[in-house]
Structure 1
Amino acid sequence: MMTVIDPVLIVLTFLWIGFVCAISFMEAGLKFRAPGVTIPVGLSIGRVVFGALNKVEWVLAAAIVLNYVLFHHVYSWNMAWIAGAILILKIQTLWMLPALSQRAKNISEGVSLPPSSLHRYYLLLEVSKVAILFVYGVHLFH
């Protein structure tokens, strides 16, 4: 029989995964396929949506850490998984999102920019973060 270590952690973890998958893997590309959405409009929407996603991710990460602090009192190996996800989130928040946002703003204003791999790196980190969170979530079941 399978048991659940902490149902709140499971909900928070899979909610986090759901947000990232819905926005990063679905919305990001679909918005440009909608009729009438120009590249500047799509980039503007993306800046707003990814900014909001980032805030939601920080709330979920904080709720998970707070749950450990308040109820578990012992930092188990499971915290290493969350620490990895938070490290990725920190890199995205402090470096990648500001750089991508500025790039989107410049493109929207008509500035010609050379190609960049930043989007691919961001996507690679999103996949890594989801994988880390998934492994962590599965380990919350016995």
Structure 2
Amino acid sequence: MNTKYDISKLTTISGTFIWIGMVCAISFLESWLKFQAPGITLELGVGIGRLVFGMMNKVELILATVILFASWRSLQSFKKESGVLFLVAVLIVLAIQTLVLLPIMDHRADLRLQGVSLPASFLHFYYVGCELLKVIGLTMFGLKNIH
């Protein structure tokens, strides 16, 4: 077997499952657990969340780039049976989060931190839905690439 192929395949698979773990740990645990800690106000939790999710988005963009490059390098990952369509779906969801949801949520967080009272919003539900779609898509892509 070609060493480049092995390293590319390993990078694709490990990067995919690291990404899944990061999303699950932060979006499905940290994001709501922080509000259970004593002394955490809504404003403080919003500030922490903004910082954490902003950084997570940057790391996700890096992981997406690494996975794309590694998949391309292995030559197998862009075949239909490799689940590349799952990766494309994940990248579309990530783009929606990066270009649409996060900027709006950041703006709302800024207003909230300035003491502005805001009407209820479904943005967090949309974001969580996107996170679920990413985890499903990444899981399918990762599993297809293990075989």
C-alpha contact (below 8 Å) 1:85/1:129 kept by paired residues: yes
Aligned equivalent of 1:9, options 8, 12, 25 = 12
Q: Please, which runs of 5 or more residues in structure 2 have no aligned partner?
A: 1-5
TM-score, normalising length: structure 2: 0.88
State the distance in 1 between where 2:77 and 2:144 align: 16
State the distance in 2 between where 1:7 and 1:51 align: 27
Q: Does 1:28 align with 2:31?
A: yes
Aligned equivalent of 1:50, options 50, 53, 62 = 53
TM-score, normalising length: structure 1: 0.91
Percent identity reads 42
1:141 maps to which residue? 146
- After superposition, the C-alpha distances for 1:65-92 in whole angstroms (9 at most, x for unaligned) are 1112223177222221111111100000
State the distance in 1 between where 2:88 and 2:77 align: 15
Aligned length: 139
C-alpha contact (below 8 Å) 1:81/1:136 kept by paired residues: yes
C-alpha contact (below 8 Å) 1:43/1:105 kept by paired residues: no
State the distance in 2 between where 1:111 and 1:140 align: 48
- After superposition, the C-alpha distances for 1:92-131 in whole angstroms (9 at most, x for unaligned) are 0001011111111211211111111110011011001100
1:100 maps to which residue? 105
Q: Please, which runs of 5 or more residues in structure 1 have no aligned partner?
A: none
C-alpha contact (below 8 Å) 1:39/1:108 kept by paired residues: no
CA 1:96–1:141: 2 relative to 1, 3 Å: same
| 3-state SS, counterpart of residue 111 of structure 1 | coil
1:127 maps to which residue? 132
**For the aligned residues, what is the CA RMSD?**
1.7
| 3-state SS, counterpart of residue 139 of structure 1 | helix
